[in-house]
Amino acid sequence: MPSASSSAPAASSSSLSSGPKTLTQNSSIYDIAHTVWQQYLATTPQRTMLLDAFMGFLVLVGGVQFVYCVVGGNYPFNAFLSGFCAAVGQFVLTASLRMQTSSAATSSSSSSTGGAKGKGGKKVVKGDAGEEGSGISAERAFADYVFGSLILHFFCINFIN
Amino acid sequence: MRWSLSSLFLFGFLAVVHALSSSGNRLLVVLEDGSEKDLYSTFWSDLEARGYDLVFESPKSDKLSLFDLGERAYDHLLLLPPRSKGFGPSLSPKNIVDFMNKDGNVLLALSGKSTTPSAVSSLLLELDLHLATDRSSVVVDHFNYDTLSAAEKHDVLLLQRPGPLRPDTKAFFDGEGVLALPRAAPHTLGDHALIAPILRAPATAYSYNPKEDLSAGEDVWATGSQLALVSAMQTRASSRFTLLGSVESLQDKWFSATVKAPNGKETGTANQDFAKQLTAWTFKETGVLKVGKIEHHLAKDDLTAEDLNPTIYRIKNETVFSIEISEYSHDRYIPFEVPANDALQLEFTMLSPFHRLKLEPTARTENSTIYSTQFTVPDQHGIFSFRVNYKRPFLTNIEEKHEVTVRHFAHNEYPRSWKISGGWVWIAGLWSVIGGFLAFVFVWLYSEPASAKVKKTQ
Amino acid sequence: MAESPLDVLLKGNSGRTTRGLLRIIILATIAAAAVSSRLFSVIRFESIIHEFDPWFNFRATKYLVSHGFESFWDWFDDRTWHPLGRVTGGTLYPGLMVTSGVIYHVLRFLTIPVDIRNICVLLAPGFSGLTALAMYFLTREMTTSPSAGLLAAAFMGIVPGYISRSVAGSYDNEAIAIFLLVFTFFLWIKAVKNGSIMWGSLAALFYGYMVSAWGGYVFITNLIPLHVFVLLCMGRYSSRIYISYTTWYALGTLASMQIPFVGFLPIRNSDHMSALGVFGLIQLVAFADFVRGFIPGKHFQRLLTTMIIVVFGIAFVGLVVLTVSGVIAPWSGRFYSLWDTGYAKIHIPIIASVSEHQPTAWPAFFFDLNFLIWLFPAGVYMCFRDLKDEHVFVIIYSVLASYFAGVMVRLMLTLTPIVCVAAALALSTILDTYVFAKNGPNPRAKANEDNSDGLRSTRKPNVGVTSYLSKAVMTSSVVIYLLLFVAHCTWVTSNAYSSPSVVLASRLPDGSQHIIDDYREAYYWLRQNTEHNAKIMSWWDYGYQIGGMADRPTLVDNNTWNNTHIATVGKAMSSREEVSYPILRQHDVDYVLVVFGGLLGYSGDDINKFLWMVRIAEGIWPDEVKERDFFTARGEYRVDDGATPTMRNSLMYKMSYYNFNSLFGPGQAVDRVRGSRLPAEGPQLNTLEEAFTSENWIIRIYKVKDLDNLGRDHNNAVAFDKGHKRKRATKRKGPRVLRTE
């Protein structure tokens, strides 16, 4: 955990600078959360919001299933697993897509300062699979996303039979 | 035409085999003293009338051999008590045991008149039948003796014919009349499931060695009904051995004798009937069970030939098992009836029985009964066997074992998720995710220009 | 092989395509060498399946090919584990069989009729060629030096540690699993570097394939989360890691759950919990990272602390509750034995009894890895020098695999790939430093063309090794080492790892080779002379072979899933006849098979394994079988006159030495394995009769007698047959038991 607080990815720092600063030093947790929400509404592009809406939907679906499992028992366990895993898997895939698209958007807009940092920037892939450019374009990310999702759905449907 | 010819032939054949043992008719009678043969003439003719080919041999004869080229030369063996030390080399205990192991039946008669040779004793020992240590005792009973012939010695026993051994067994030796057993050599039985007494001595009998002093009776070997006079042994393969304590009871003289118990009236003996029953049982005319078809299949209506006796079942299948059993009675097979108080049982076994079920008679043919039962295969996969293990005194052993495999549910035999109402929630969850994904993809592609406001309408 | 990387580099000035072509040619050569060096056993002996487990895999493959995939999936095998049977379709890793089944059908489709046996025999060498390629790709991800990948591929192709499990005929799960292991790691590294869903999904797919192929997939399941965890601890969280890990985990877990044998394990078994934990952790980190984008550090820390406390509290309570309530299975025994080498010996003799579960002897490392073993630390050091994400991976992998390889001989196999990677890194650095110091700018310039930002090591100015003498010395010594390595590998492969162990080879005094074929002789005897359903009891080592070669049902086999059943066999073997016989009857045993090496001096026989049988039986019946009884008062394990009565009366002893005396003069019988003279009077068997003894007495088969027809016990029956007069049995003590009906 200490690690997470010590390193600040470049992508997020850029958005940080543009947000309004309305917090005092000693505001409550609620205030902080509220501010975060305000910040979020203010700074997130619409398209990313669409992603977030979808993620929220997935959390809802997953949460309902989990609660039902706890309350109503998990008799066809494979069905529960595949239903739940589908929600979770789709969520993380969507989260990945969100990261990729938003970072691609910011790197294209704010001239990719993070690329200079050794670990933050995408490295060139040499050799046989070298057709990729630095960073991943939104289209490419989306194609990957669809690919991953289709595999996920295939497994889930197979598993639920 | 041909049919009638062949049926004629069949009838003729049936007539020939009439009243034959179920296991062959070659009977070897070992008789040491040829002159004694006439004493038993009624007995011999009874046997011949029932279709046996009697061959008389002296134990000293060179050509006497139980085996011919390694196979049995005779089906049955009747041994009368030897005079000398034993039956000689060709009838050594080992040969007789081999004969029995090859499904030969033996009737051994002893006599209290002479000392039983040690070779016979050691043969009997192998069968867990024990003679008195001195091997020359006779059974004496001061309450049940024939007052006419043995008023002094009290060594001709008069006995009722035996009823069923236990309430749940069939009686093969019962009937009216009194048996006279002169000078019977007694024996005792080991604790052994294969042997069964046919006729025990009365409770008041004891064994007595006429050659020794009476005073030497401090070590009482056995008394009363622990003394058996006639006993049967059936090997695991159902070949039969009968030990008859009194050879004299087979003589013509005793077949037609008149006897009188101490406080009874004069009657004729039932020895002839009893001898017939005894030989009939020993030489497999009675008490022979035969297993016919054994069928097992799934319990369903439209059975085809392929559905019979499958090698593999699945757990929790409904299964029907049936077994056809007939009993040989003197000259033909009749339907076998399980005695009252007894049950024919089926075990469904893997290491230990998972089911033990009573087989009920469900159908009857001309000469067999079909017993069957229906049950659910247990919820345990493995290699099971249907076992019918029916071993009763005087009946041939039925030990049937049929292996079947019980497999688990195949992957497509479980209920599908949508058949389980509990799974609908998650199916709905899964499809809502997929539907949501498709909608999302559609909207995403539709709102491709990054700055479009279209998606706001969502 | 060692010279080939040099060739590429010597042509450093030529164009990219030329070097690419050369690289392909070299890789093809490496693959060919990898395949061909594994064919020794086919040349020496014949195209035959080796050892034990492969026989089962072979049998399963035949079943798959002849019955189709569906019925293979539902296969209930009633010819093993009699009478329990085995749900084989649900308890095996089907990857291997399905792979060869697919190859078989593809070849048939291409109208190339190949016997399925040949596919099975040659599958392992074929996949080792692929492993070399995968190794090339994996190493390419680690370094910019083009020679490292080729070196690693070459090492992987011929290193004995890998050859030991992949010679022709060694048709085992490891044959394809190592390829999948290396390739999955390659895809994982690729995913981490690119942060791409696609690579993550591919890694998950290959992970799924790996799960279907080998139980060692748990290694990946734990290594990748550990890698991620270490990266998180190092403060290297990035969206790339999030993307690749979550994609891999979500898809990989689902994929692994498609295998019936694995089923719900990934969310139940503690072995898989670390992956789930890291998955949860990375969600939190990602969320925290996301939130941090909106608020300044001070507030963020407060928020974070609250979150951490809440989440960890819930997670800990949940874990404890689940473990206590038994929803999450406790750690499996094999896993414990990984941490505590003494654990298995005390608790699970069945695991300890397997030779490949023994701790590794030190010479084995050198034997299997040769000079790579001392290049290995150097390579790991190189990884520390420029510590990128993938290098962290190499370091973690090295540390873990070294430990595991030290614990279990079998896990040497997982160590081998990383040793090859590290050694190749080290060696290529040496070569680059010494060989090309003079035209140093060239590779670096090229590297800079290819990479926008190269490795630190290449950017560093070369230390001045310019003297031709030192170059020559270093280069030639490296070349000599490489040549020695190749020679060693070839020697080890041909001498140590190419024996099928079904067929034994020995040298006659005149030096010619003599084949001892007792196993197959005996198995074919069983096949020809016994009923199709005759149950054979033997120690579990031979179960698969009997099933595969003799095609007869067995009681226990190498799939040691039921310890009790094995213990039952152990008890039958180690008890007196009177005790064993009812066990044999109960399990419908028709024949008992023992392996006896006393005549030939074949040390892997059952008497030497006997103590394991005793121990395993003792684990279940501590009152009836006692290991102590098999040792003499002085603690010796003897088979001669000094053997304990328990030993001499045990069924195993009797079966091994029955009639052995008759081969020798009186009192001359000598057991050549134990080197001891046997008692003058051999053991007597009553309940069994000898049915078959192979040419060199290695395999002895006994038939279990039926119950005596007259109801006697076998002692008396045998005594009677031998003509002994029976003593009157009525002299019993105590009151006579009266017979009642």
Q: What is the pLDDT of residue B14?
A: 44
Q: What is the pLDDT of residue B123?
A: 87
In the predicted model, is pLDDT for residue C439 greater than 70?
Answer: no
Indicate the DSSP class of residue C269.
B
Q: What is the pLDDT of residue C1?
A: 41
Interface contact flag, B408 C90, Cβ < 8 Å? yes
Say how far apart CA B165 and CA B177 lie, in whole Å.
Answer: 18
Averaged pLDDT for residues C247-262: 84
| Report for B20-24, B238-242, C3-7, C630-634: range of highest mean pLDDT | B238-242
Query: Among partner residues A13, A36, A100, which is closest to C291 by beta-carbon distance?
Result: A36
Interface contact flag, C250 A25, Cβ < 8 Å? no
Say how far apart CA C714 and CA A134 lie, in whole Å.
Answer: 84
Say how far apart CA B385 and CA B294 lie, in whole Å.
Answer: 13
- The set of residues, in sequence order, having a beta carbon less than 8 Å from that of C407 and lying 6+ positions away, is C337, C338, C341, C359, C360
In a domain, C130, yes or no: no
Q: What is the least distance, in Å, from the CA of B445 to any CA of chain A? A: 10
Report the DSSP beta bridge partners of residue B205: B141
Averaged pLDDT for residues C210-217: 86
In a domain, C259, yes or no: yes
Structural contact between residues B54 and B104, judged by C-beta atoms closer than 8 angstroms: no
| C511: its two tokens | 């030096």
**Selection from B242, B243, B250, B247 nearest residue B284 by Cα:** B242
**What is the pLDDT confidence band of residue C199, given thresholds at 50, 70 and 90?**
confident
Q: What is the pLDDT of residue C731?
A: 46
Say how far apart CA C356 and CA C541 lie, in whole Å.
Answer: 13
| A33: its two tokens | 């959360």
Summarised one tens digit per residue, pLDDT across range A98-145 is 877 766 544 443 333 333 333 333 333 333 333 333 456 777 778 888
Q: What is the pLDDT of residue C450?
A: 40
Q: What is the pLDDT of residue B315?
A: 87
Return the minimum-mean-pLDDT range out of C104-113, C184-193, C674-683.
Answer: C674-683
Indicate the DSSP class of residue C693.
E
Q: Name the residue with higher pLDDT: A103 or C188.
A: C188
B369: left (phi over 0), alpha (psi -120 to 50) or beta: beta
User: Under DSSP, is residue A11 helix (H, G, I), strand (E, B) or coil?
Assistant: helix
Range of the domain at C233: 208-331
Task: Tell me the backbone φ, ψ of residue B297, rounded to 5 degrees.
Answer: -165, 170
In the predicted model, is pLDDT for residue C667 greater than 80?
Answer: no
Q: Is C90 on the interface with B (CB under 8 A)?
A: yes
* Count of A-C CB contacts under 8 Å: 175
- The set of residues, in sequence order, having a beta carbon less than 8 Å from that of C152 and lying 6+ positions away, is C135, C136, C138, C139, C420, C421, C423, C424, C425
> How distant is the alpha carbon of residue C453 from its chain centre?
42
Per-residue buried b or exposed e for B345-381, using 16+ beta carbons within 10 Å of the residue's own CB? bbbbbbeebbbebebeeeeeeebbbbbbbebebeeeb
Q: What is the pLDDT of residue C726?
A: 60
Q: What is the least distance, in Å, from the CA of B429 to any CA of chain A? A: 6
**What is the pLDDT confidence band of residue C708, given thresholds at 50, 70 and 90?**
confident
Say how far apart CA C671 and CA C679 lie, in whole Å.
Answer: 11
Preceding omega of C683 cis (within 30 degrees of 0): no
Summarised one tens digit per residue, pLDDT across range C570-624 is 899 989 888 899 999 888 899 999 998 888 888 888 888 888 888 888 888 888 8
Cβ contacts of A90 on chain B, cutoff 8 Å: 433, 436-437
Q: What is the pLDDT of residue A103?
A: 61
Interface contact flag, C741 B197, Cβ < 8 Å? yes
Report the DSSP beta bridge partners of residue B374: B320
Q: Is B308 on the interface with A (CB under 8 A)?
A: no
| A79: its two tokens | 């069905």
| Report for B63-67, B221-225, C26-30, C85-89: range of highest mean pLDDT | C26-30
In a domain, C195, yes or no: no
Interface contact flag, A7 C237, Cβ < 8 Å? yes
Averaged pLDDT for residues C477-504: 83
**What is the pLDDT confidence band of residue C495, given thresholds at 50, 70 and 90?**
confident
Q: Is A78 on the interface with B (CB under 8 A)?
A: yes
Angle at B148 between CA B146 and CA B152, to 5 degrees: 75
User: Under DSSP, is residue C623 helix (H, G, I), strand (E, B) or coil?
Assistant: coil
**What is the pLDDT confidence band of residue C447, given thresholds at 50, 70 and 90?**
very low
Residue type at position C302: R
Cβ contacts of C258 on chain A, cutoff 8 Å: 155, 158-159
- Rounded to 10 degrees, the C-alpha dihedral C144/C150/C155/C156 comes to 90
Q: Which helix (H) or strand (E) holds C138?
A: helix C116-140
Helix ranges restricted to H, C455-549: 456-459, 468-495, 518-529, 543-545
Averaged pLDDT for residues C224-246: 85
Say how far apart CA C380 and CA C374 lie, in whole Å.
Answer: 11
C contact residues 240-279, partner A, Cβ 8 Å cutoff? 240, 242-243, 246-247, 249-251, 253-255, 257-258, 264, 267
Structural contact between residues C235 and A4, judged by C-beta atoms closer than 8 angstroms: yes
Per-residue buried b or exposed e for B192-215, using 16+ beta carbons within 10 Å of the residue's own CB? eebbbbbbbbbeebbbbbeeeeee
Summarised one tens digit per residue, pLDDT across range B199-237 is 888 888 888 877 765 554 555 677 888 888 899 999 988
In a domain, C714, yes or no: yes
**What is the pLDDT confidence band of residue C475, given thresholds at 50, 70 and 90?**
confident
Query: Among partner residues C235, C247, C286, which is closest to A148 by beta-carbon distance?
Result: C247
Q: What is the pLDDT of residue C383?
A: 84
- The set of residues, in sequence order, having a beta carbon less than 8 Å from that of C664 and lying 6+ positions away, is C670
Q: What is the pLDDT of residue A3?
A: 36
Q: What is the pLDDT of residue C342?
A: 57
Say how far apart CA B26 and CA C545 lie, in whole Å.
Answer: 50
Per the structure, the count of domains in chain C is 2
> How distant is the alpha carbon of residue C272 from its chain centre?
20
Interface contact flag, A90 B433, Cβ < 8 Å? yes
Report the DSSP beta bridge partners of residue B383: B405
In a domain, C46, yes or no: no
C contact residues 533-562, partner B, Cβ 8 Å cutoff? 533, 553
**What is the pLDDT confidence band of residue C348, given thresholds at 50, 70 and 90?**
low
Structural contact between residues C186 and C220, judged by C-beta atoms closer than 8 angstroms: no
Q: Which helix (H) or strand (E) holds B257?
A: none
- The set of residues, in sequence order, having a beta carbon less than 8 Å from that of A50 and lying 6+ positions away, is B440, B443, B444, B447, B455, B458
> How distant is the alpha carbon of residue C135 from its chain centre?
20
- The set of residues, in sequence order, having a beta carbon less than 8 Å from that of C49 and lying 6+ positions away, is C55, C58, C117, C120, C121, C169, C171, C500, C502, C548
Q: What is the pLDDT of residue C339?
A: 59
Say how far apart CA C42 and CA C500 lie, in whole Å.
Answer: 9
Interface contact flag, B429 A87, Cβ < 8 Å? yes
Return the minimum-mean-pLDDT range out of C3-12, C33-42, C163-172.
Answer: C3-12
Averaged pLDDT for residues C383-396: 84
> How distant is the alpha carbon of residue B445 from its chain centre?
85
Q: Are strands C589-595 and C535-537 parallel, antiparallel or unpaired?
A: parallel
**Selection from C389, C315, C439, C571 nearest residue C12 by Cα:** C439
Averaged pLDDT for residues C177-187: 90
Query: What ipTM was predicted for this assembly?
Result: 0.84
Structural contact between residues C369 and C360, judged by C-beta atoms closer than 8 angstroms: no
Say how far apart CA B392 and CA B171 lie, in whole Å.
Answer: 12
B310: left (phi over 0), alpha (psi -120 to 50) or beta: beta
Q: Name the residue with higher pLDDT: C448 or C543.
A: C543
- The residue written with tokens 């046989």 in the block is A128
Interface contact flag, C90 B94, Cβ < 8 Å? no
Summarised one tens digit per residue, pLDDT across range C127-159 is 988 898 888 888 888 877 778 888 888 888 888
**Selection from C435, C577, C619, C493 nearest residue C169 by Cα:** C493
**What is the pLDDT confidence band of residue C327, given thresholds at 50, 70 and 90?**
low
Structural contact between residues B329 and B286, judged by C-beta atoms closer than 8 angstroms: yes
Which parts of chain B register pLDDT below 50? Answer: 1-2, 5, 8-17, 216, 450-458
Structural contact between residues A51 and A101, judged by C-beta atoms closer than 8 angstroms: yes
Q: pTM for this structure?
A: 0.81
In a domain, C306, yes or no: yes
Structural contact between residues B174 and B161, judged by C-beta atoms closer than 8 angstroms: yes
| B195: its two tokens | 């042997």
CATH code of the domain in which C557 resides:
3.40.50.12610
**Selection from C383, C444, C463, C402 nearest residue C143 by Cα:** C383
- The set of residues, in sequence order, having a beta carbon less than 8 Å from that of C563 and lying 6+ positions away, is C348, C350, C616, C619, C620
Say how far apart CA C66 and CA C105 lie, in whole Å.
Answer: 11
Q: What is the pLDDT of residue B210?
A: 73
Q: What is the pLDDT of residue C702?
A: 92
Q: Residue C79, exposed/middle/buried by CB under 10 A (0-12, 13-18, 19+)? A: buried
Interface contact flag, A65 B426, Cβ < 8 Å? yes
